[in-house]
Amino acid sequence: MAPKILDEHSLQAREQEIIDAALALIAREGVANVTMDKVVAKVSYSKGTVYKHFTGKEDLLLAIGNQAITIMLDLFFRASQYPGCARERMLLINFSYLFYAILHPALFMSAMCSKSPNVYEKSTIKRVQEQEHLEMKLMGIFFNLIEEAIADKSFTLPPDMDMQQICFANWSLGYGVISLLADEVESCSGRTGLVVERELFNQNNIFLDGLRWGPLSHEKDYKAGLKEALEQVFGEELARMKALGRELNF
């Protein structure tokens, strides 16, 4: 038999098959309970082939993390293109982050787990660099938005903070709220009475009011504006959430 020469395309398709198999397992059993054996059993290739694509378990996890960022990038970009004021779009981006967490719980968990020195150490340099590149693009969306707001005078930087710090502050807000309420994102238990979309909305207003980013929350009905924007930009995502029995409740 003539030796096979694999083209880039089929190699990438195979890589995606492995990632998808891992994601399905993660969704069912959680990141910690997934083994390479189980992944191999789910794909049409052998162990050796899987290890040809990923140098190990951590490298696979990082690849999944990168896929997560790619999906977020799409959501964030769409949100940033909405024809509303800058502050409105900032809120919309943060809500798109929530959609990602709700609609892709396995990706969300994987991305969180992949952000650890242990994973980076054991991964390919190539994939670590890919993550850095993707994160730069993500940051770029925020930077552009903040720059626009500064340009149209709805926001001015506080004297002791630069754009990167504002960007980080907004990011850590969404991250804190969504990751801490992530268990409730899936289950409807609601043991404590905290509703993630409500807290995200309120904290966003408090934060942006604190920054004096106009229009302030008492000057504009951001709740109505957000509902409108969600319908328009994330209609498909809302429908998928409704199908999962998870409707936004604020």
The reply on whether position 210 binds a second copy by CB under 8 A is yes
**Shortest spacing between CB 149 and a second copy, in angstroms:** 15
What sections of the chain are H helices per DSSP? 8-29, 36-42, 47-53, 57-80, 86-103, 105-114, 117-121, 125-151, 163-180, 182-186, 196-210, 222-233, 235-243
144 is a site residue for a second copy (CB under 8 A): no
Question: Is the Cβ–Cβ distance between 214 and 87 less than 8 Å?
Answer: yes
Interface residues for DNA in 113-132 (CB under 7 A)? 122
> Could you tell which of a second copy, DNA, none binds residue 158, using a CB distance below 5 to 8 A set by kind?
a second copy
Question: Which one of 22, 26, 58, 86 is in contact with DNA (CB under 7 A)?
Answer: 58
Q: Which does 46 bind (CB under 5 to 8 A by kind): DNA, a second copy, none?
A: DNA
Q: Is 176 in the site for a second copy (CB under 8 A)?
A: yes
Site for a second copy in 19-38 (CB under 8 A): 30-33
- Using a 10 angstrom Cβ sphere, with 0-12 exposed, 13-18 middle and 19 or more buried, the burial of residue 26 is buried
Examine residue 46 and tell whether it contacts DNA (CB under 7 A).
yes
**What is the contact surface with a second copy in residues (CB under 8 A)?**
30-33, 116-118, 158, 160-161, 164-165, 168-169, 171-177, 179-180, 183, 192-194, 198-199, 202-203, 205-211
